[in-house]
Amino acid sequence: MSLHDRDEALETALLAAARKRLAERPELGSILAGRPPPAITPDGLGTERAAALLLDVVMPAAIQIDHPRYFAFIPAAPAPASALADVLLAVNAIYGGSWLEASGLVHAENEALAWLAELAGFPDTAGGCFVPGGTNGNLSALHAARERARHAGNPATHLACHAEVHSSVRSMARIMDAEVLPVPGDGLTGEALEQALHPGVFAVVATAGTTNLGTIDDLAGVAAVCADRGIWLHVDGAYGLGALCAPSARARFAGLERADSFIVDPHKWLFSPFDCCALVYREPALARAAHRQHASYLEALYDDEDAFNPSDYGVHLTRRARGLPLWFALAVHGTDAFTDAVERTLATARHAAAEIDGRPELELVAEPELTILAFRRSGWAPADYTRWAEALRTSGTAFVLPTTVDGETVARLAIVNPRTTLDDVKVVLDAAR
């Protein structure tokens, strides 16, 4: 059988496995035990052996991030509709970077971006694109910010942020050969920013939901300072801005509407598959001027200046239409279903915080602003937290990891899955008794 011949037995096996996975509560998963024999050979393994290796050995050796007791890092909970759209996207050979080649998909992505922009209070002229993840989104926005400063005759080399900014911001600053101006204080505030700024700053990065504790910077105060100084404000809301669709939480993001750009990862709290980050600019033309690539073979894409080419708005050229699964889930279920799902996770986090408060051996490190709970266990040393997490993982009960807050090792739970219940949280807390 040649490389491009259809293999109906393989199609049946893999599609059946996909349907089974969607129908069942996921197992937590595991880590690969030993190395399986080599699978890449001159003659190939054939359908049956390769499928068995994939389904029985390779795929199970992974932690399933949509498990209701996956509480480490930031979980995910893709809706079946979005997962199925991603399957269809994979089997269609579509380049998602230009209007000419993917106008239908680009239109759908832009509709999803417009919904997010409206929730953020951005004007209806706002726009952007979907990129692989928050790291790429932060880099793309900061590159646009620096190019705007340069074209204005400002050779600024610094970006300002707080210590709790996501690690990708510092990493992307190194890639851009930019310097980071750290702003001291408990979170990024307008007052602290005002005191720290100097003329060499081309952008400020505020956070709407830190990864470690879920805290939200003083967006309104920071936005006022940036507007007064003419500095680009980028808001990293990769995790937290999923809560924009929850009326109970939206007021916590006051000031976001004055930002120049923001990101939010639908693969986190907006129920899309990996990998998907929405990058939205207040003035997309500034991003296009910074990012559009020029080559003789590309110029035909730009004959129609009204055509919207997603490749013009991020650090990419080749791209898949990774925003399509979000759009499809929104189209199937409506925005109210997203609101209900996010409100449910916020409620679960509130109940879980109360449960922690009610256990004498546990103490919250901070009151949760969103859905991340950090707590200490009285009498525990760092090694105790590690043993607790390892026992939960190896037993298939839950995936949790300790973290540090102000140098102290503590436990941390992140909740974004609407199927996570208070009982799921209690199982993990009980193991800390």
Q: Which residues contact 79 (CB under 8 A, 6 or more apart)?
A: 271, 272, 329, 333
pLDDT at 2 > cutoff 90: no
Residues 4 and 121 in one domain: no
Residues 315 and 354 in one domain: no
Residues 328 and 238 in one domain: yes
* Tokens of residue 420, six digits: 């996570």
Confidence class for position 305, pLDDT limits 50, 70, 90: confident
Residue 101 lies in a domain: yes
pLDDT at 245 > cutoff 80: yes
pLDDT value of position 343: 98
Residues 209 and 176 in one domain: yes
pLDDT at 1 > cutoff 80: no
DSSP string, 84-98: HHHHHHHHS----S-
Q: Which residue segment(s) compose the domain that 169 sits in? A: 93-333
Residue 404 lies in a domain: yes
Q: Which residue has the tokens 């109906």?
A: 8
Residues 372 and 241 in one domain: no
pLDDT value of position 58: 96
Residues 176 and 285 in one domain: yes
| pLDDT digit string, tens, across residues 21-59 | 999 999 999 999 889 999 999 999 999 999 999 999 999
Residue 76 lies in a domain: no
Residues 318 and 354 in one domain: no
| pLDDT digit string, tens, across residues 203-238 | 999 999 999 999 999 999 999 999 999 999 999 999
pLDDT value of position 214: 97
Residues 261 and 360 in one domain: no
Q: Map residue 264 onto helix, strand or coil.
A: strand
| pLDDT digit string, tens, across residues 121-161 | 999 999 999 999 999 999 999 999 999 999 999 998 999 99
pLDDT at 260 > cutoff 90: yes
Residues 315 and 424 in one domain: no
Residues 327 and 344 in one domain: no
Closest of 139, 175, 144, 135 to residue 288, by C-alpha: 144
Residues 206 and 322 in one domain: yes
pLDDT value of position 290: 97
| pLDDT digit string, tens, across residues 70-94 | 999 999 999 999 999 999 999 999 9
pLDDT at 120 > cutoff 80: yes
Which CATH number does the domain housing residue 266 bear? 3.40.640.10
Residues 253 and 301 in one domain: yes
